[in-house]
Amino acid sequence: MGCREVANVPVYVSVPNMSLPHALQHVSLTTFIYLFTTYITLSINGTQVCSVLQHVSRKEQVTLPDELCVNIARDSSRNLRRAVLMFESCYVQNRDPNGGGLKPDTPVMQTDWEVYIKQLAADVTRNQSPQHLLSAREKLYELLINCIPADVIIKTLALELIKNLDDSLKHEVIESAAFYEHRIAMGSKDIFHLEAFLAQYMAIYKRYLNELFA
């Protein structure tokens, strides 16, 4: 995952009385991908997501079938930043070396950072040692330096961590995530709060295992 530099590119965030694709007509794919680093939230529906994706595909000269476009909009939960990242992942992993476009049945790929967070969640659930916490810290740093916002990291992590938890633990993990997300929003160093959240999760899960096998 590499963070590419974007400079001197006009970005239109909110333009009254203009359709979204027209307002973003000068924005490149790279700029779209990293829009989320500015913490901009766009409230749009599936049709608008598809319209933006088709606009990006035309600018990048990539064929994007309507069926695949709808699938990306659905799987991204109509989240524009995720949709564009998914589009890029589909193209990178399935592009035709002969110059052809994507196919309607192209699988919608998860982004690299989502896969990375899944692996991180699995690691800290498998082992709660101090060494694994140190390793997790390094992975959190990797995500941050690759332009993944801390609030996105902690939300995605929390959702991954609770997937296989006993119901009695889920509320503790969610409360912990909400607490540290608030700390992140206050503007202090993100890595401290992300690491503290994982440390607390590991303590919660370790306690649960000890009680279970006592």
Please count the other Cβ atoms lying within 10 Å of the Cβ belonging to residue 36: 21
Tell me the whole-structure pTM to 2 decimals: 0.61
Average pLDDT of the chain is 78
Tens-place pLDDT, residues 113-169: 888 999 999 999 999 999 999 999 999 999 999 988 898 899 889 989 988 788 888
Contacts 24+ apart (CB under 8 A), 137-145: 137/191, 137/195, 137/198, 140/191, 140/194, 140/195, 140/198, 141/191, 142/1, 142/116, 143/113, 143/116, 143/117, 144/190, 144/191, 144/194, 145/3
Structure confidence at residue 26 (pLDDT):
45
Average pLDDT over residues 76-96: 82
Does residue 46 or residue 96 have the better pLDDT? 46
Average pLDDT over residues 103-110: 86
Structure confidence at residue 212 (pLDDT):
84
Tens-place pLDDT, residues 172-197: 899 899 999 989 988 778 999 999 99
Domains and CATH numbers, the chain: 1-109 (no CATH), 112-212 (1.20.272.10)
Average pLDDT over residues 6-29: 38
Contacts 24+ apart (CB under 8 A), 174-179: 176/200, 176/201, 176/204
